[in-house]
Amino acid sequence: MNNSHVKKINRNLVYGWMLIVLILFVSYTMEVVKGQRSLSYLFVFMLVTAVPAIIVLILYLKQPDRYSLRYTIVGGYFIMYIFVMITGSTTMVFSYILPMLSLLVLFHQPIIILVTGICATVLNLISIFLRYNRGEITTENSKDIEIQLALLFLCFLGSYLATRLYDEIHKTNEKYNKELSERNKDIERMTMQTITTIANTIDAKDEYTRGHSKRVAEYSATIATELGMSEVEVSNIRIIGLLHDIGKIGIPDSVLNKPGKLTNEEFQIMKGHTLAGEEILKDIDMIPGLEIGAKYHHERIDGKGYPEGISGDDIPYLARIIAVADAYDAMSSNRVYRRHLPKDKILSELEKGCGTQWDEEITKVMIKLINEDRLPKINPDAETELVQQTSTILSRVIDIAEDKGSDTSDELDDLTGAYGRDKGKYAIQNAISKNGTGCIVLFDIDHFHRINDTDGFIIGDIYLKKMVEQIRGLSEKQIIARFGADEFVTYFPELKDAKEAEKLAEIFIDRIKNLAETDKRVSKFSVSIGISEVVTEKDKVMFLYENANKALYVAKQRGGNTYYSHQALEYQNEEPSNPAADLKQLVEIIQNREHYKGGLIAAYPEFGKMYEFISSLAERNDMKVQIALFTVSQIKGAKASLEEQDRVMELLQKAVVNSIRNVDVITKYSSTQFAILLMNLTLAEVENVINRIMTEFLRTYDKNEFSVHYDMADLSKN
């Protein structure tokens, strides 16, 4: 039986008892006034009836849902019953016993009726016997006694049978309610497991954010508890926190996992995850305000956040809590672009943003929890037993597969004794997973193809052997894998960071220079070295290899016998020639096409005709016409061919075609640019179209050699 039902029954019983006491008090008071009762009798009545009733009332007010209170009430009823029976007439007895038994039926407990009935019958028999001895019962009035006993028997028997019937119904309902409650709990568990799975799926898009949603959820719940929010509110905010990043499920991995600074276009796409999250969650009414966390957790108190730029109290309170929890986890966790911040730095950042970036009260609570070390320690692997079993089985399958791969002896490079590419990947990945630290160093022989061409392959092989010998001389724990003809990837687990790897690279280059001077066979020996630092045990070897390869390219540009670290790279996109100027020129050409007929008609005849039609239509119907120019540019430092540029343009064209409407027009403005005419759209709608184009493009483009920029202009004449 739930607490609200128990409380309701107790209330009815207590108020019923108080009503009966009041009725009897009024009745006896009238008898005192008439001289039929004495004041002492009224006083004794109040003592044995009203006082217990008041005591029970106090107990009820203190704990109205206490199940055992009913037994106290029954005891009080019975005391009053005995008093009335002893001192009152037969009529008075039955005027009291009938409502009392009606209230007892509410207990739906036959045993109470049975015990009460037996006791009442015994007491009535004793009373009859005493009255008989006193000569009060004669043959003339014995009929009243017979009626009294018959009614007493029928009253209790009827009540007993009624409570038995009601008790059966109650037990059936209670069983059904219990089963329903268990089912609801199962549904809640399944729902939470589904929500957790969704959160894990979102986090899985980036190895560095694994467990992020769960941590934010638990941090938010802890803050809410500290703020004095109710148990239900804490439970709700935990779920809202789990799903706050659900919109990221639609963000391309190339944007989500980009190690460097995002371009403006990429950042616009990233910001879109808040609105996407709201769109996904807005129709789910299981949790009130479920979409609030997803939409508003990047808003700032000073109004400089997104997506709406609201400020202060306009930001929903739940979103302000999640914003602080989200920020803390971002600072305290490793990211693809940096290690986690130390505790003092996190506290400094929170204090700096208190009242401007984050809510002052909530931020102070977070600072207090950090200082008192009361934030929960979240283990992303601590899921349900089923998830644990599944993870264990899956891990075992992966381990077996990796062991199988590592046992393949014929994957060693015959010439140098280093691992082959596939076996090297397995070995290095396993080592990274166990150690979680170290550096990946990529060694490359400068102008190796020229050495093979001029000195012969035999001499080239000597270079390769000497290279591996020198690498082995650097450490006893390194893992060497030959990834290319003259390219060796080496994992040094003992190196703490890129700075130590750079010192090792200097030593290696000195040895190579000395070798070139002392051994005439390798007199042209020169190397370039790229370095990538392992951040956590979750790092993927191919991701680290790509980073080292980017650093290697910089080293090669600097000349022979040089090294460069990926950590020193600054990812800055090479600016296009001047896309804004290109757009301005295009607008002038279109709007003044009669002055540029030759160039426009020769290069864009259909585009010009279509613009003329759209412009005329828009002018007649008071509609807007806007143009967007997309420009493809090569990222600074990237090695890309013209064929790759053409492929990028094809992907961009497909993204545009799939994202615009049938009434919009596209043309290739140059070898690296597309122009689009958009009709009768608001600025927000144009931005949505552009975001769809960029999202579609980045979802299909899998390299980091080109970037896309866009500019917009209004061609409307009004």
pLDDT value, residue 396:
42
Are residues 231 and 353 both part of a single domain?
yes
Token pair of 150 as six digits: 């018959």
The rounded distance, in Å, linking the Cα atoms of 481 and 423 is 8
Q: What average pLDDT does this structure show over 358-385?
A: 81
Q: Which residues on neighbouring strands pair with residue 442, listed in sequence order?
A: 489, 530
The rounded distance, in Å, linking the Cα atoms of 603 and 81 is 108
Q: Quick check: is 376 in a domain? A: no
Token pair of 235 as six digits: 């439970």
Is pLDDT of 158 > 60? yes
* DSSP state for residue 526 in the 8-state scheme: -
- Work out the pLDDT band at 489, boundaries 50, 70, 90: very high
Is pLDDT of 430 > 80? yes
Q: Quick check: is 202 in a domain? A: no
Q: What phi, psi does 297 have (nearest 5°)?
A: -75, -5
Token pair of 716 as six digits: 């409307």
Are residues 504 and 591 both part of a single domain?
no
706-714 β-sheet, strand order: 665-670, 673-679, 625-634, 706-714
pLDDT in tens, 537-575: 878 888 898 888 888 878 887 778 999 998 776 433 334
Q: What average pLDDT does this structure show over 19-46?
A: 81
The rounded distance, in Å, linking the Cα atoms of 100 and 17 is 8
pLDDT value, residue 195:
67
Q: Of 127-131, 407-411, 503-507, where does mean pLDDT reach its minimum?
A: 407-411
Are residues 170 and 220 both part of a single domain?
no
Is pLDDT of 69 > 90? no
Q: Tell me whether residue 225 is exposed, middle or buried, using C-beta atoms within 10 angstroms of its C-beta: 0 to 12, 13 to 18, 19 or more.
A: middle
Is pLDDT of 166 > 90? no
Is pLDDT of 386 > 70? no
- Work out the pLDDT band at 402, boundaries 50, 70, 90: very low
The rounded distance, in Å, linking the Cα atoms of 379 and 281 is 26
**Full residue range of the structural domain in which residue 165 is found:** 3-176
Are residues 162 and 214 both part of a single domain?
no
* DSSP state for residue 633 in the 8-state scheme: E
Of 508, 542, 568, which one is at a domain's C-terminal end? 568
Residues contacting residue 23 through CB under 8 Å, at least 6 positions apart? none
- In percent, the amount of the chain with pLDDT more than 90 equals 22
Are residues 73 and 13 both part of a single domain?
yes
pLDDT in tens, 470-481: 999 998 889 999
Are residues 162 and 114 both part of a single domain?
yes
Report helix, strand or coil for 611: helix
The rounded distance, in Å, linking the Cα atoms of 172 and 383 is 36
Q: Of 403-417, 562-576, 688-702, where does mean pLDDT reach its minimum?
A: 403-417
Q: Quick check: is 318 in a domain? A: yes
Q: What average pLDDT does this structure show over 155-174?
A: 76
* CA neighbours closer than 13 Å in the CB half-sphere of residue 160: 14
Residues contacting residue 58 through CB under 8 Å, at least 6 positions apart? none
Residues contacting residue 410 through CB under 8 Å, at least 6 positions apart? none
Is pLDDT of 420 > 80? yes
CATH number at residue 640: 3.30.70.270
- In percent, the amount of the chain with pLDDT more than 70 equals 78
Q: Which of 259, 239, 264, 347 is nearest to 571 (CA)?
A: 259
- Residue of 569 and 405 predicted with greater confidence: 569
The rounded distance, in Å, linking the Cα atoms of 532 and 462 is 27
Binning the chain into helix, strand and coil, the percentages to the nearest 5 are 65, 10, 25
Work out the number of other CB atoms within 10 angstroms of the CB of residue 192: 15
pLDDT value, residue 259:
62
Amino acid at 115: V
pLDDT value, residue 403:
45
Mean pLDDT for the chain? 78
Token pair of 357 as six digits: 């970036």
Is pLDDT of 146 > 90? no
pLDDT value, residue 49:
76
Task: Locate all alpha helices (DSSP H) within 63-141, ordered by sequence.
Answer: 69-87, 90-105, 110-133
The rounded distance, in Å, linking the Cα atoms of 695 and 266 is 8
pLDDT value, residue 511:
94
Are residues 433 and 564 both part of a single domain?
yes
pTM attached to this predicted model? 0.47
Q: Quick check: is 667 in a domain? A: yes
Are residues 137 and 20 both part of a single domain?
yes
- Residue of 424 and 115 predicted with greater confidence: 424
Q: Quick check: is 199 in a domain? A: no
Work out the number of other CB atoms within 10 angstroms of the CB of residue 175: 10
pLDDT value, residue 600:
32
Inter-CA distances, 42 with 87, 347, 646, Å: 11, 73, 107
* CA neighbours closer than 13 Å in the CB half-sphere of residue 553: 13
- Work out the pLDDT band at 324, boundaries 50, 70, 90: very high
The rounded distance, in Å, linking the Cα atoms of 352 and 358 is 10
- Work out the pLDDT band at 46, boundaries 50, 70, 90: confident
Q: Tell me whether residue 392 is exposed, middle or buried, using C-beta atoms within 10 angstroms of its C-beta: 0 to 12, 13 to 18, 19 or more.
A: exposed
Q: Quick check: is 406 in a domain? A: no
Is pLDDT of 336 > 60? no
The rounded distance, in Å, linking the Cα atoms of 358 and 225 is 18
Is pLDDT of 318 > 90? yes
Are residues 559 and 584 both part of a single domain?
no
- Work out the pLDDT band at 92, boundaries 50, 70, 90: very low
Q: Quick check: is 395 in a domain? A: no
How many domains are contained in the chain?
4
Are residues 221 and 165 both part of a single domain?
no
Is pLDDT of 68 > 60? yes
Token pair of 411 as six digits: 């994957």
pLDDT value, residue 1:
52
pLDDT value, residue 479:
93
- Residue of 431 and 90 predicted with greater confidence: 431
Is pLDDT of 703 > 80? yes
Are residues 171 and 25 both part of a single domain?
yes
Q: Quick check: is 345 in a domain? A: yes
Helices 317-332 and 212-226 cross at an angle (nearest 10°) of 130
The rounded distance, in Å, linking the Cα atoms of 191 and 597 is 64
Q: Are 316 and 211 in contact (CB under 8 A)?
A: no
Q: What average pLDDT does this structure show over 158-175?
A: 76
Inter-CA distances, 219 with 215, 295, 329, 375, 527, Å: 6, 18, 9, 7, 49
Count of residues for the chain? 718
- Residue of 208 and 374 predicted with greater confidence: 374
CA 93-96-97 angle, 5° bins: 80
Of 311, 346, 371, which one is at a domain's C-terminal end? 371
- Residue of 155 and 23 predicted with greater confidence: 23
Are residues 554 and 607 both part of a single domain?
no
Q: Are 113 and 101 in contact (CB under 8 A)?
A: yes
* CA neighbours closer than 13 Å in the CB half-sphere of residue 333: 25
Of 568, 588, 621, which one is at a domain's C-terminal end? 568
